[in-house]
């Protein structure tokens, strides 16, 4: 049904069953044309290409992303090559001159954030409170209770956790509580954007939603984005690139200005061919009216089918007993199997690869990911 969009990747992987959509999603064929379009633009316009990029393409992609997230102001989305860039600038908007910055987070954040705040903590620049994600059933309540203590400058949490596929529930309530307590709220949506349906309408001015093109947006590395709440009293980042204020670049005075929209969190020059690829995928999906409800529904079918096949083979190591789950009707697009032992887990990933099944692992967790380029013809019989 959707396989027709991915003919090149499917042809080149025809000997493999690729279950790593949660990592390197296959790219639709239209992304190739997008790279060529970018090349052609450069060859025709050279330096003058920037006006097409900034006046046409960036707004187009902002609009397409905003529509998928139910945001009213597309211009409040800014871009960067990776989420780490965006996180650094977000952290730099905290008031480090006051006593100590206090950050609330979970034990299951991706390395881009985890490593950075561990370093800041090591240098005693922040205080950190880490909430365990387990037990999953009351995670959001525990986050809210902690927020209500009123001690935090920033809450950083994933929307779908990279090491379990569990979805953080009640994000609206979390966002409201964070706002009441003057806590900035950053939601790492890399595993939720274009996977599960997302509606930020009611909290668009209470959350920094961060995601990117590499995973479910299917456009490869190089184009991440952050939605920026519109609040007059928000601090500006002190780590700031010149893209954050195009208007006053040539101003003779020394005053530092920031753009009034999401671009105040921008950095500087990046390779916009990644944005062209992202636009091509979004356009394809928009033109075919493929919504996240549809994507999620299709992936859920694949996941159900996979579990049935898994049950059939009755494997001693890879089986449902190891599956991390809370509510499988509202779960991310990969299944995570906890082997409790890194070596065992790596051995299983290798074993699967030797049998032409591509998965990946994070520590002792083996991840099986699902995407639109797959169909229900899963074959686990050889393992």
Ligand X SMILES: Cc1ncc(COP(=O)(O)O)c(C=O)c1O
Interface residues toward ligand X, by CB under 6 A? 82-84, 110, 112, 158, 162, 188, 190-191, 212, 224
- The candidate with the shortest Cα–Cα distance to 37, out of 198, 299, 277, is 277
CB of 112 to ligand X, least distance (A): 3
- Tokens 């990933």 label which residue? 349
**CB-nearer residue toward ligand X: 212 or 220:** 212
Shortest distance (Å) from residue 24 CB to ligand X: 10
Minimal distance in Å, beta carbon 338 to ligand X? 17
> In which residue are the tokens 């051995």 written?
347
Tell me whether strands 334-338 and 365-369 are parallel, antiparallel or unpaired: antiparallel
Q: Which of 280, 284, 239, 273 is nearest to 88 (CA)?
A: 239
Q: Residue 93 or 181: which CB sits closer to ligand X?
A: 93
Least distance to ligand X from the beta carbon of 69, Å? 16
CB of residue 110 to ligand X, shortest distance in Å: 3
Q: Which is nearer to ligand X, 41 or 207 (CB)?
A: 207
Task: Identify which of residues 119 and 313 has a Cβ nearer to ligand X in the complex.
Answer: 119
CB of residue 260 vs ligand X: minimum separation in angstroms?
Answer: 26
Nearer to ligand X, 140 or 181 (CB): 140
User: Least distance from C-beta 80 to ligand X, angstroms?
Assistant: 8
Alpha helices in 181-319 (DSSP H): 273-287, 292-313
Torsion of CA 137, 302, 359, 322, to 10 degrees: 40
* Dihedral sign (CA 207, 242, 94, 236): negative
Residues 324 and 229: their CA atoms lie apart, in Å, by 33
CA 52 to chain centre: 27
Residue closer to ligand X by CB (options 310, 369) is 369
What does the DSSP 8-state code read for residue 169?
A: P
What is the DSSP secondary-structure string of 9-56? HHHHTTT-EE--TTTSPPPPTHHHHHHHHHHHHHHHHGGGHHHHIIII
Which is closer to ligand X, CB of 190 or CB of 285? Answer: 190
Helix (H) or strand (E) holding 154: strand 154-158
* Contact indicator for 154, 104 with CB cutoff of 8 Å: yes
- The residue among 139, 87, 82, 143 whose CA lies nearest residue 114 is 87
Nearer to ligand X by Cβ, of 112 and 240: the residue is 112
Element (H, E) at 105: strand 101-106
Q: How far is the CB of 158 from ligand X (least distance, A)?
A: 5
Q: How far is the CB of 293 from ligand X (least distance, A)?
A: 22
**Cβ nearer to ligand X, comparing 79 with 179:** 79
- What is the rounded (10 degree) CA torsion for 217, 26, 219, 292? -20
Q: Which is nearer to ligand X, 28 or 332 (CB)?
A: 332
Other C-beta atoms closer than 10 Å to the C-beta of 264 total: 21
158 exposed, middle or buried (CB, 10 Å; 0-12, 13-18, 19+)? buried
């Amino acid at each position: 049904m959707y396989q027709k969009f991915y003919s090149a990747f499917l042809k080149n992987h025809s000997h493999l069953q690729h279950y790593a959509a949660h990592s390197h999603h296959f790219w639709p064929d239209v992304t190739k044309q997008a790279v060529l379009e970018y090349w052609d633009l450069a060859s025709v316009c050279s330096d003058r290409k920037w006006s097409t990029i900034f006046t046409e393409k960036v707004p187009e992609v902002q609009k397409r992303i905003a529509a998928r997230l139910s945001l009213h102001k597309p211009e409040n989305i800014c871009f960067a090559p990776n989420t780490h860039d965006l996180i650094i600038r977000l952290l730099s908007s905290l008031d480090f001159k006051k006593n100590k910055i206090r950050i609330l987070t979970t034990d299951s954040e991706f390395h881009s954030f985890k490593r950075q705040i561990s370093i800041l903590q090591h240098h005693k620049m922040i205080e950190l409170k880490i909430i365990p994600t387990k037990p999953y059933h009351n995670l959001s309540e525990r986050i809210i209770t902690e927020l209500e203590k009123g001690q935090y400058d920033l809450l950083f949490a994933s929307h779908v956790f990279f090491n379990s596929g569990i979805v953080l529930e009640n994000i609206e309530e979390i966002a409201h509580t964070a706002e009441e307590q003057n806590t900035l709220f950053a939601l790492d949506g890399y595993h939720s954007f274009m996977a599960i349906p997302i509606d930020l309408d009611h909290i668009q001015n209470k959350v920094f939603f961060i995601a990117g093109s590499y995973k479910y947006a299917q456009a490869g590395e190089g184009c991440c984005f952050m939605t920026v709440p519109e609040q007059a009293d928000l601090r500006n980042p002190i780590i700031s690139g010149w893209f954050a204020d195009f208007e006053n670049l040539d101003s003779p005075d020394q005053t530092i200005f920031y753009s009034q929209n999401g671009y105040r969190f921008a950095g500087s020059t990046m390779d916009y061919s990644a944005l062209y690829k992202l636009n091509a995928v979004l356009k394809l999906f928009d033109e075919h009216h493929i919504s996240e409800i549809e994507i999620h529904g299709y992936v859920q079918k694949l996941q159900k089918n996979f579990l049935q096949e898994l049950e059939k083979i009755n494997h001693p190591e890879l089986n449902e007993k190891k599956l991390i789950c809370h509510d499988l009707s509202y779960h991310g697009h990969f299944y995570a199997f906890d082997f409790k032992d890194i070596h065992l887990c790596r051995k299983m990933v290798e074993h699967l690869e030797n049998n032409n099944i591509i998965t990946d692992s994070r520590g002792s967790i083996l991840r099986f990911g699902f995407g639109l380029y797959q169909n229900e013809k899963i074959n686990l019989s050889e393992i």
